[in-house]
Every structure is written in C-alpha cells, then in structure tokens.
C-alpha cells in the first residue's frame, strides 16, 4: 500500500472515530445528565421534606440512585457539579476501544439507541481498522525490506571491494616478484 493511500485511510479512520464520538456523546450524554438532575432533585426533596427517614423514603432514594447508576452516572462522589462521562475525549477513547477490539469496559452505552449504534459502529469500524493495520504492516514491511536490501548491498559492496583489492594486491605482488622488483619478498 502506498504512503498516500495509507495516509488517506488513516484520515478516514480518524474521521470515523470523531464521528462516532460525536454520536455517542449526543446519544448518551442527555440521558446521563437527565438522571443526574433527577437524583439531585430526589436528594433535595428527601433531605428537605424528611427529618425522619422511613423505609419507603429510603426505598425511593435507592431507586433513584440505581436508575442513575444504570444510566452510567458515577454516584460514588455525590456532587451538585455534573461532569458527563460522555464528553468528546471520553467518547473518542471509547470509539477507539471499540474499533481496536480492546474494549476496556470502563465506559459503555446505557441507552438502547447507544447500544444499537455501538453494534453497527463496530461492524464497520473493526474491518476498517483491520484494513488500516494491514496497510501499516505492509508499509513497514516494505520499509524494512528496503533497509535490509541497503544493508546487504553495502555489506556486499564492501566485501567485494575488499575481495577485489586483496585479489589485485596478491597478483601485483606475484607479478612484481616474477619481474624481480621485489627481491626481498619471501613467497610461502
């Protein structure tokens, strides 16, 4: 695969990742935000209206917390400041784990539309990434083959030059000896 083709494929994969991140952020973030607001409202109502906790009130609070967790909200640190787990960077990272088939599992779509899109996204993205990976491997293999060929050529040229020089040197010494120019040279 030629370098311009490989770069175009890489750009296509990057564009696909950005598109997927935007879709996941737009599909998942509103549900997550909505559940956060509901949890805050339930908590405020619970604390404001009930000085004594009953079993039903506690059950309602727990149900709200469970719904928030099912929506993907991290409720370990209850805070009024909401930060979506589906910001663009996290969604981009999630898309990368999908098409590379790594799948860390620290973030996953909770809505039905998000899950459906995830399956469709993987069906297109995994082969696309495989094709990119094959192209990169082909390109690297070609580069490695060229490097090995250059090293062999340099080695063979030096070896042949050394061989030619020693061959020529031996012949000159023999000829000089035979002509009597080198009387002090001893031949083995």
- Phi and psi at residue 105, to the nearest 5°: 90, 5
Mean pLDDT of 83-93: 85
The whole-number pLDDT of residue 119 equals: 94
pLDDT band at 3 (very low <50, low <70, confident <90, very high): confident
Query: Comparing C-alpha atoms, which of 80, 124, 84, 130 is closest to residue 107?
Result: 84
CB 4 within 8 A of CB 120: no
Mean pLDDT of 52-57: 70
CATH of domain 3-140: 1.10.287.70
C-alpha span between 86 and 56 (Å, rounded): 33
C-alpha span between 18 and 99 (Å, rounded): 12
Lowest-pLDDT choice from 6-15, 93-102, 151-160, 173-182? 173-182
C-alpha span between 9 and 79 (Å, rounded): 43
Say whether pTM exceeds 0.75: no
Q: Could you say which DSSP state residue 180 is in?
A: T
Task: Compare 188 and 57 and report the one with higher pLDDT.
Answer: 57
Task: Compare 1 and 116 and report the one with higher pLDDT.
Answer: 116
C-alpha span between 186 and 35 (Å, rounded): 100
Lowest-pLDDT choice from 43-52, 113-122, 136-145? 43-52
User: Is the pLDDT confidence value at 118 over 90?
Assistant: yes
Task: Compare 64 and 175 and report the one with higher pLDDT.
Answer: 64
pLDDT band at 33 (very low <50, low <70, confident <90, very high): confident
Helix, strand, coil tally for the chain in percent (to 5): 75, 0, 25
Task: Compare 171 and 92 and report the one with higher pLDDT.
Answer: 92
């Amino acid at each position: 695969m030629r370098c311009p083709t490989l770069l175009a494929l890489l750009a296509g994969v990057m564009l696909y990742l950005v598109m997927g991140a935007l879709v996941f952020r737009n599909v998942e973030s509103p549900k997550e935000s909505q559940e956060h607001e509901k949890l805050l409202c339930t908590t405020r109502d619970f604390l404001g209206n009930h000085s004594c906790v009953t079993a039903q009130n506690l059950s309602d609070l727990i149900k709200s917390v469970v719904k928030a967790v099912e929506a993907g909200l991290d409720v370990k640190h209850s805070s009024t400041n909401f930060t979506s787990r589906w910001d663009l960077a996290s969604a981009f990272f999630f898309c990368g784990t999908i098409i590379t088939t790594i799948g860390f599992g620290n973030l996953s779509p909770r809505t039905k539309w998000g899950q459906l899109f995830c399956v469709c996204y993987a069906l297109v993205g995994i082969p696309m990434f495989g094709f990119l990976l094959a192209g990169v491997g082909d390109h690297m293999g070609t580069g490695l083959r060229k490097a090995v060929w250059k090293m062999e050529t340099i080695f063979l040229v030096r070896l042949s030059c050394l061989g030619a020089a020693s061959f020529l040197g031996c012949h000159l010494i023999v000829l000089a000896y035979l002509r009597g120019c080198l009387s002090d040279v001893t031949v083995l």
